[in-house]
A and B are shown apart, each in its own frame.
Chain A
Amino acid sequence: MTKEIDARGMSCPRPVLLAKQALADAADNGLRVLVDNPDAAENLKGLGTSLGYAVQAAPYEEKDFIVTFSKGKPIETVVKESPVANDTYLVVLQGDEMGQGDAAFGKKLLEGFIYALTEQDELPTYVVCYNKGVTLTTLNDKTVADLNTLMDKGVQVLSCGLCLDYYGLKEKLRVGQVTNMYRICELMRSHPVVKP
Chain B
Amino acid sequence: MRTIIAFPSSHAAMEAELLAEDAGYACRLIPLPPAIHAGCGIVLLCEHSVILQVADLLAAKRVPTDGVYDKNGDTWHRRLDS
**Minimal beta-carbon separation of B63 from chain A (angstroms):** 16
Which of A78-86, A107-115, A127-135 touches B?
A107-115
B42 interface hit (Cβ, 8 Å): yes
Measured in the bound complex, the distance between the Cα atoms of B45 and A115 in whole Å is 11
Q: Specify which chain B residues have a CB less than 8 angstroms from the CB of A60 in the assembled complex.
A: none
Q: Is B31 an interface residue (CB 8 A)?
A: yes
SS class, residues of chain A in contact with chain B: helix
Taking residues whose C-beta sits less than 8 angstroms from the other chain, chain A's interface range is under 10
Q: Are the C-beta atoms of B14 and A104 separated by less than 8 Å?
A: yes
Q: Which of B25-39 contact A (CB under 8 A)?
A: 28-31
List of A residues within 8 angstroms of B82 by Cβ = none
User: What's the tally of chain B residues with a CB closer than 8 Å to chain A?
Assistant: 8
Cβ 8 A contact of B10, one of A105, A115, A116: A105
Cα distance, A108 to B9, chains bound together (Å):
14
A104 to B28, CA, bound (A): 14
CA of A44 to CA of B14 in the docked complex: distance in angstroms? 43
CA distance A115 to B10 in the complex (A): 17
Quick one: closest B residue to A104, CB to CB? B14
- Whether A153 sits at the interface, judged by CB under 8 Å, is no
* A138-159 interface (Cβ within 8 A of B): 142
- Using a CB-CB cutoff of 8 Å, which residues 19-74 of chain A contact chain B? none
Question: For the complex, what is the distance from the CA of A111 to the CA of B29, rounded to whole Å?
Answer: 8
> A112 contacts which chain B residues (CB < 8 A)?
29-31, 42
Q: Which B residues are within 8 Å of any A CB, using their own CB?
A: 10, 14, 17, 28-31, 42
Closest CB pairs A-B (n = 10):
A112-B31, A115-B30, A116-B31, A142-B28, A108-B29, A112-B42, A112-B30, A108-B14, A108-B42, A112-B29
Give 19 new A-B contacts, CB below 8 A, not counting A116-B31, A142-B28: A104-B14, A105-B10, A105-B14, A108-B10, A108-B14, A108-B17, A108-B29, A108-B42, A111-B28, A111-B29, A112-B29, A112-B30, A112-B31, A112-B42, A113-B31, A115-B28, A115-B30, A115-B31, A116-B30
